[in-house]
Amino acid sequence: MSKTSIFLTGATGYIGGSVLTHLLNHPNVSSFEITAFVRDPEKAKLLEEFGLKTVVGSNSDLDKLEEATSKSDVVISTADADDVPAIKAILRGLKKRHDETGVAPILIHTVSFLVLTDDAHGHYAYETIYSDLDIPLIESLAATQPHRDVDLLIVEAGEQGYARTHIILPSTIYGLAQGPLFDKGISNKHSIQVPGLIKASWDRKQGGMVREGKNLWPNVHIEELADLYIILFDAALSNPKTANGREGYYFGESDEYLFYDLAKTVAQVLVELGRGSSEEPTPFSREEIDKYFAGVSGSAYLGSNSRARAERSRSLGWRPVKRTTDLLLSVKPEVEELARSGRINSF
Ligand SMILES: NC(=O)c1ccc[n+]([C@@H]2O[C@H](COP(=O)([O-])OP(=O)(O)OC[C@H]3O[C@@H](n4cnc5c(N)ncnc54)[C@H](OP(=O)(O)O)[C@@H]3O)[C@@H](O)[C@H]2O)c1
């Protein structure tokens, strides 16, 4: 029997490295042929030691992306949620695959809960709670929301029927990623949002938030998020009726946190480690937001609400058990690891 060909982008990243780790530990791994799309040729060589094939290239190498996806039964895309030309190249490749084989290949693409955000700027919590089962509510999102342009292209491809498309939306992912890919420095072990807040707070020697920090966000632990990718991958492979296309939204959420509580925990950890003098977080100034968060959507993310329930994901059998207390407990080891590696001073 021929192997299932899997093409993965973002393998050197936090999410992609974790998904790859779980694929390599999958009971059916001997029936997979995994190809990673990697920018750094040195990392490509290291990945090959794990039995992977690699294609060296970046998202701007559109021909390479199209060619590689046209040979794949499954594409898992975790590199840059917002790259429209790249997703178009992936979809062209999948269409070619379908035209040649008559079978619709599987796409699992990663975006984020930024698509659900508002403009609260830390002032209030909003009431709307999205569900990945409530497609009309998702479809009511403005086309101008972050990631929406990419989502709509993917859904359209799924509705045309040449690919079975699925979109995973992780929330605030936390926890240091674990496993040999991370130990060997191939993949990035740090998330984006919590480390971003920690680095800013470390630099100003004080926990920070946007205004009062009254905004709410969901959270998910990296290991449990990687479980969701594998559960969806298994479901899509074994059952073509697994929700896809217009219905193919899967939220990665296991609990919800108040931004103030995260900021306060960071402030407390800084005091505990002798870096901060007050356990009470203070609002970031406009200048601080521009300085520290220009690369992660600034206050648009930091002060926003994004509320959601992962009901479709749970309907697949996904059972995340981590709670917001685990998010808060992850802050100290994250600070210690960032300080140990020196990354705490990089923005
Ligand atoms: N972490 C979170 O909390 C979170 C939550 C929701 C959604 N997301 C989204 O999920 C995606 C992955 O996040 P992450 O946390 O895994 O980020 P990450 O650790 O920075 O990893 C990004 C991965 O994508 C690759 N990549 C980036 N730009 C590329 C390009 N132009 N061409 C080829 N490869 C490229 C990187 O390769 P290099 O190693 O060569 O840089 C790396 O492998 C991002 O779009 C992010 O916005 C993240």
Reported as a single tens digit per residue, the pLDDT across 279-313 is 999 999 989 998 998 766 556 778 888 899 999 99
Closest ligand 1 atom number to CA of residue 193: 3
- The answer to whether 7 and 74 are in contact (CB under 8 A) is yes
Token pair, residue 11, equals 């393998």
- Mean of all residue pLDDT scores within the chain: 95
Measure 305 CA to ligand 1 centroid, in angstroms: 22
Average pLDDT for 39-61: 98
CA of 1 to the centre of ligand 1 (A): 34
Please name the residues in contact with 337: beta carbons below 8 A apart, sequence gap of 6 or more.
176, 189, 190
> If you measure from the C-alpha of residue 226 to the centroid of ligand 1, how many angstroms do you get, rounded to a whole number?
14
**What is the average pLDDT across 270-284?**
97
Q: What is the pLDDT of residue 120?
A: 80
List the structure tokens of 273.
């480690």
CA 41 to chain CA centroid, nearest Å:
24
- Per-residue pLDDT at 177: 98
User: What value does the mean pLDDT take over residues 111-133?
Assistant: 84
Task: Tell how far the Cα of 80 is from the centroid of ligand 1, in angstroms.
Answer: 5
Both tokens assigned to 257: 């946190």
- Residue 303 is predicted with a pLDDT of 87
Best probe residue, ligand 1, of 176, 188, 254, 302 (max atoms within 8 Å of C-beta): 188
**What is the per-residue pLDDT for 170?**
96
Ligand 1 binding pocket mutation candidate from 15, 52, 114 (most atoms within 8 A of CB) = 15
Give, using CA atoms, the residue closest to atom 26 of ligand 1.
79
The residue written with tokens 């990697």 in the block is 38
Tokens 């002032």 locate to 123
CA–CA dist 276, 266 (Å, integer): 9
- Measured from the Cα of 40, ligand 1's closest atom is 40
Q: Whose CA is nearest to atom 13 of ligand 1?
A: 15
CA of 81, closest atom in ligand 1: 45
What residues contact residue 36 under an 8 Å CB cut-off, 6+ apart? Answer: 8, 9, 11, 20, 44, 47, 52, 53, 54, 55
Alpha-carbon separation of residue 43 from 36, 126, 182, 186 (angstroms): 10, 43, 12, 6
Strand extents, DSSP E, 67-157:
74-77, 106-110, 130-131
Query: Which residues surround ligand 1 with Cβ inside 6 Å?
Result: 10, 12-16, 39-40, 58-59, 78-81, 110, 112, 170, 172-173, 188, 191-193
**What percent of the chain shows pLDDT beyond 70?**
98
Phi-psi region of 63 (alpha: psi -120 to 50; beta: other; left: phi over 0): alpha
DSSP readout, 181-232? HHHTTSS----SHHHHHHHHHHHHTS-EESTT---EEEEEEHHHHHHHHHHH
199-215: per-residue pLDDT in tens? Answer: 999 999 999 999 999 99
pLDDT of residue 298: 59
Torsion angle (degrees, nearest 10) of CA 96, 99, 105, 109: 40
> Distances in Å between the alpha carbon of 147 and those of 41, 152, 171, 295, 329?
29, 9, 14, 15, 30
Check pLDDT > 80 for residue 325.
Answer: yes
Tell me what pLDDT residue 113 has.
Answer: 78
Domains of the chain: 4-117+129-182+219-252 (3.40.50.720), 191-218+255-345 (3.90.25)
**Alpha carbon of 280 to ligand 1 centroid (Å):** 32
Residue of 83, 110, 220, 346 with the most ligand 1 atoms within 8 Å of its CB, for mutation: 110
DSSP per-residue codes, 142-175: -TTSTTHHHHHHHHHHHHHTSSEEEEEEE-EEES
Contact 129, 219 (CB under 8 A): no
Quote the radius of gyration of the chain (alpha carbons, Å).
20
Ligand 1 centroid to residue 86 C-alpha, Å? 13
